[in-house]
Structure 1
Amino acid sequence: MLLKIIQRCLPEWIKRKKLKELFRLTADAFQSELPELKGLSSAALLPQYTLFTKEQAENHLQSGRPLEQVKQRLYQNAYRFGRNLRKTLHIGTWEEAVTALKVIYQLIGIDFQCDRQGEIIIRQCYFSSYYSGEVCKLISALDEGLAAGLSGGGRLCFQHRITEGNECCKGYFQRELQVKSKDGST
Structure 2
Amino acid sequence: MADDPEEEPRLDVPIGMFQDIEDIKAELSRLNTLFNSFTGGDGAEPGEASAAEDAAAGAEPDEGEADEDEWQYPPFILLLDPPAYDDELRALVEWVEGVLVPGYLAEPSADARWCHLWFEHSVAIARLHAVWLAWQELTDPASCGYTGPSVWHRDHLDPALRELRASSGPFSGCTKGEHQIDHRMPSTVPSAWSHGID
TM range (shorter): under 0.3
Instruction: State TM-score, norm by structure 1.
Output: 0.27
- Structure ranking higher in strand proportion: 1
Higher relative CO (Cα under 8 Å, sequence separation at least 6) belongs to 2
Instruction: State TM-score, norm by structure 2.
Output: 0.26
